[in-house]
Amino acid sequence: MGILGISVAGLNAARTQLDTTSHNIANASTPGYTRQRVLQSSVLGDTASGQYVGAGVQIDAIQRMADRFAVEQLRDSTTAFAESDIFHSISSRVDNLASNDATSLSTSLSGYFETLNEGVNEPTSIALRQSILGEANNLTTRFHTIERELSQLRVEINRDLDDAALNLTQLGKRVAIINDQISRAVGSAGGAIPNDLLDDRDRALKEIAEFANISVFEHTDGSVDVSIGSGQSLVAGTNSLTIVAEPNAEDASKSNLFVKDLNKNVRFDITNEIQSGRVKGLIDVRDNVIDQSLRQLGLVAVGLIQTTNEQHKLGMDFNSALGGDFFNDLNKSALIAQRYLPNSANTGNAALTVELGEFAADTIALPNKPATGIKDLEAEEYNLIITGTSYELIRQSDQASMTSGAIADFPIQINGMRISLSSGGFADQDSYVIRPLQGLARGIDVQITDPKKLALAWPVAASENEANLGSGKLTVSDMVSTNQPINFSDLSTAANTVTSFQPDLVSQLTDLKTPLAGDLLFSVAGGTPDDVAIPIAIADSSARALFDGIALNVTGVTPTASTTLDLGAYSDGVWGGTGSDVTFESFGGTGVNLPSTALGIAAGTRNADEVVTAITALSGNISARAEVVIKSTVGENLAISLGASATAAGLALNSVAQDEMNLGDFIEGSTINAGDLVINGQSISGTFVTTTALRDAIRTAGSNNTITNKFSADAHIIVTENQGKTIQISTTGNNGGTGAANFEDFSLSGAAHEGYQKGQVTVTAANVTDSLLISGNNPENGGFITGLSLNVAKNAFHPDRPGQLDPPIQIEFLSQTRYQVYLKSGTLKPIGGPQPYDPLNPDVFPLVDTTTAPPTDYDPGYRMRISGTPEKGDIFNIEYNTNGFGDNSNAIKLAKIEQQAVLTADTSGNPTSSISQGYESLVASVASETETSIIDLNASETLKRQAQQKRDSIMGVNLDEEAANLIQFQQAYQASARVITVAQTLFSSLLQAVG
């Protein structure tokens, strides 16, 4: 090549070295820049004089000083640090919110219970009562504040996920564009690599790695494919996919990340595929810290609401009235509506009801339903999965199966919840998120505004007669219930006339949502509703039925081979309204069931015989007869069957309170002579062919002012199916007649019957003519109500008789070791036999009456304790605590709730945590997560710094090194230039020599 060519090549090589070194120095501070170096080699020379003479130098490539392992290590450590950083940042905010005195619930709980304890000392102070309400409102406000702040963090996380999705999409597009640029550059440069484009792409990949863990695959053309998470493609060559944040199909309040394909259709939820990075940190802190804190806060709210309300309702307020709810109802409709979420992909239309509270065991339903209560509640959410005609309830946190069964087994009763199908139906593969604690912290509110409504006393008071000789004392030791049905046969004389109803009363329901035409009516003959419990099996645990004097009831006759129903009396003899009808049908027995047959009797005034004749004509298997029911307005009934002897009827009549009735010999169709039947001095005489005629005569006599408010009489129709089959009766129209619009609510409890709920219902009407309504949700059309047996029952705290005990109790000591308990209602009525007095076991209630067969319990809902040494003849009294303003008994109980274990049952089913401990558990859990996040953050920060240092030591620019290279390459450049000068001199000398 010669000296000139060699020197020019050397000059060019040195200049390239200088350019590259200058480029390195200029980018020494450029993030992600990779140091470059010039690769050069000598040019093979030609032979001269038998020897090879070198031909100079050539540039082979400009190389990026990249280390793939260092790049990937830095990328991975960046991913881990981003995850730890965002998790710690948010969890520390939750930790500060939960534990800081200015925002912590512990501070407000302490203030509330401290004020309650002050109320214990001064229950009569209105100012202190107002302070209690003030602290209670402060407490609920603190619940609201914490819930609001946590919910706001969830909103911020959703926004961060939106930003993450947008960044991932934009960075993916950027990598795809750089891929295209690199491919084009490599092609146009004959395979030369555009180093600075590779740096740009590495920077973009590192930014992607901040959001999610990625995998990178490099192609021979210099382009790369990028997948995120466990393998979901983000970039493929020059194409990229779109990432979007959209609501979770199961919980729309949560955002998840989805990949859209090239046609922009949602294809795959990648939220759970992302294993690390900022997105993973956001999801984890949301699910494991924020959501768990919200659930635990809701659990604390449940414990406070349930225990406080239950205790407060056991007390008496400043106005001598029973206490009501202190906080809002745990199952108010606004809360229930938040407790489940249907999957957006569901094809069924089922609506659910998720109730919280105390639910009794149901051993009649198949399968049995266990007892459960708030102690069994978990700070968890569940997935209800429908497969065909079956369901499974799965806990989200560990995917444990909690229970499963057939859809027909609903409602589900588990973990302090009762999940019911309220309407619609399930479809295969439907799913629901069950969120029992959702919204409770936000929904808790104080229901009392008047400080006088605080029930700080107990409604029962005990006293001793001043004439007592002994040192015995009777004290109220506890309140258990103010709505406890008292099952006891001696509560009512009238109730003794009918003590059991057999067989089953089965009636098919139509629409019972409101008491309109089509409602099915029920009544009981032979007992005061105040004293009678009507056991009902019904299609829903809180379904509704309408009770009235014009109705269905079961007679007091125990059937043998036939089934008997009593179609009740008419109001003023009116049968139904326009278009009314009654349908009778027997079913469930042996033999051929009767077809559904309607009783087509026109509306209007109809006597009993006319209705009996119409019913009997329906079928040879159904017959009917009539009877007269005489009712006292003080609430006692007596049904006298036709053909009853005068002696039997007279004895029965004479047992009714407030009567002045004498009944002479009476045979149906015969003549009653003057003086044979006298009611309060009113003689009833004449020939009475039908019971209706007798009834009307009694009513006519009753128009006299002296007896108007004492007795009335109605005809009843007894319907008998002679083949031993149950009679189903359905109604259309309004068969209640006039005066059937007075309704009263009462509740149901019990077990399932063929998928429906059953149990005893206590009737609480003021008198027999009142209508009664079982309130709540309604069974589906076609559901059944089934009567079981009649029990005499009474409530010691009757809602219709506020401010008095029903009845008061007297205890008289028969000796130092035995006492008798009496009901003080008019005359003293003993409860059972004499009871033993044991100073080591001094509790009075509940007591057992062994004089009945089988023995019965008497439990008025309060507990009494005898102490000291009573003497024979000593008398103690139990009465309503009228004017007991200074009593602090219930205030003490309310204050003790602070330390009472009510939450988190152990393996034996016993609660282990108080309300305060429940919140402390929240604080401890968040603190633990935050402490762990600090450790993770410090470790990941150290690893990232080390990875960055390693990458920089290999790939970064060292200015000292580059400065030395600059001098070296400058000298090389100058030397090559000198060679050119020499070559130029030699060339000039040659020209002069030949010139």
Strands (E) located in 707-860: 711-721, 726-732, 745-746, 751-753, 756-762, 772-774, 784-787, 791-795, 809-813, 818-825, 827-830, 835-836, 847-849, 856-858
> Can you give the pLDDT at residue 18?
95
Cis peptide before 846 (omega within 30 of 0): yes
Q: How confident is the model at residue 191 (pLDDT cuts 50, 70, 90)?
A: confident
* Section 548-561 average pLDDT: 28
Question: Could you tell me which of 364, 478, 477, 494 has the C-alpha nearest to residue 794?
Answer: 494
In this structure, the strands spanning 546-547 and 521-522 are parallel
pLDDT higher than threshold 70 for residue 291: yes
Q: State how far the Cα of 493 lies from the Cα of 398, in Å rounded to an integer.
A: 60
pLDDT band at 775 (very low <50, low <70, confident <90, very high): very low
Q: Look at residue 729 and tell me whether its pLDDT is greater than 70.
A: no
Type of residue found at 456: L
Roughly what angle, to the nearest 10 degrees, separates helices 195-211 and 68-99? 30
Question: pLDDT at residue 595 above 80?
Answer: no
Q: Tell me what pLDDT residue 762 has.
A: 35
The answer on pLDDT for 467 being more than 80 is yes
- Calpha distance 292→924 (Å, rounded): 12
Distance from C-alpha of 71 to C-alpha of 521, rounded to nearest angstrom: 82
Cβ 745 vs Cβ 592: under 8 Å: no
pLDDT digits (tens, 9 = 90+) for 369-404: 788 999 999 999 999 999 999 999 999 999 999 999
Work out the mean pLDDT of the chain and round it to a whole number: 76
pLDDT over threshold 50, residue 707: no
Helix (H, G, I), strand (E, B) or coil at 504: coil
Q: To the nearest whole percent, how much of the chain has pLDDT over 70? A: 67
What DSSP string describes 577-608?
-TT-EEEEEEESSSSPPPPPEEE---SEE--H
Asked if 107 and 101 count as a contact pair (C-beta separation under 8 A), the reply is yes
With 90 as the cut, is the pLDDT of residue 353 above it? yes
- Check residue 228 and give its pLDDT: 94
Predicted pLDDT of residue 843: 87
Convert the pLDDT of each residue in 883-900 to its tens digit. Answer: 888 999 999 999 999 999
Q: Given pLDDT bands bounded at 50, 70 and 90, which one contains residue 633?
A: very low
Residue 433 in this model has a pLDDT that exceeds 60:
yes
Cβ burial, residue 943 (10 Å; 0-12/13-18/19+): middle
Q: Which residue has the higher pLDDT, 474 or 677?
A: 474
pLDDT of residue 652: 55
91: pLDDT confidence band, cut at 50, 70 and 90?
Answer: very high
Query: With contact defined as beta carbons under 8 Å apart, do 473 and 866 qualify?
Result: yes
- The answer to whether 3 and 986 have CB atoms below 8 angstroms apart is yes
pLDDT in the model for residue 221: 86
- 539, pLDDT greater than 90: no
**651-665, 781-795, 834-848, 880-894 — most confident range:** 880-894
User: What are the residues facing 545 on neighbouring strands?
Assistant: none
Higher pLDDT pick, 495 / 242: 242
**pLDDT digits over 118-176, tens only?**
999 999 999 999 999 999 999 999 999 999 999 999 999 999 999 999 999 999 999 99
pLDDT attached to residue 883: 83
pLDDT score, position 251: 84
- Please report the pLDDT score of residue 47 as a whole number: 73
Predicted confidence (pLDDT) per residue in 17-70, tens digit: 999 999 999 999 999 999 999 999 998 877 777 777 788 899 999 999 999 999
Residues 6+ apart with CB under 8 A from 853: none
- Please state the pTM of the whole predicted model: 0.69
Q: Residue 629: exposed, middle, or buried by beta-carbon count in 10 A (0-12, 13-18, 19+)?
A: buried
- pLDDT (average), residues 826-831: 78
